[in-house]
Amino acid sequence: MFARFKTFRSTMHWADHALYAVSSPPGGTITGPAGNPVDASCNSTITLSCLRQLYNAENYKTTATNCNKLGVTGYIGQYANNKDLQQFYQTQNPSAYGSNYTLVSIHGMF
């Protein structure tokens, strides 16, 4: 290790103006990151519909095959749980209900 240890100063900056929250009328829309309209309720509650709107993927149709792979990490006892996944699918995406995944554990941890 070729580090030089020295103390650093902490610098704080204070804003001259107040921060404000974005608000919109109920049933209104806000502008999403892609510039597309997003239901204003997504400011307070995230649903599958909100995620599709935020990612501008409302009309995306999946074409999954058996070769798709996804890696997910889990920390501090948090890991993939099929029961939770099925409950999410049942309420948010019924067409995916019953689908599953294969768990590949690293070093016997999961």
Residue pLDDT, tens place only, 23-72: 455 568 888 888 889 999 888 888 888 888 998 888 877 777 677 777 77
The verdict on 74 and 48 lying in the same domain is no
Evaluate whether residue 51 is within a structural domain. Answer: yes
Half-sphere exposure of 96 (CA within 13 A, CB side): 16
- Residue-number span of the structural domain to which 99 is assigned: 69-103
**Total tally of structural domains belonging to the chain:** 2
Of the candidates 53, 59, 57, 64, the one whose C-alpha atom is nearest the C-alpha of residue 96 is 64
Evaluate whether residue 44 is within a structural domain. Answer: yes
The verdict on 53 and 77 lying in the same domain is no
Higher pLDDT, 28 or 76: 28
Percent of the chain with pLDDT over 90: 6
The verdict on 29 and 53 lying in the same domain is yes
Evaluate whether residue 78 is within a structural domain. Answer: yes
Evaluate whether residue 15 is within a structural domain. Answer: no
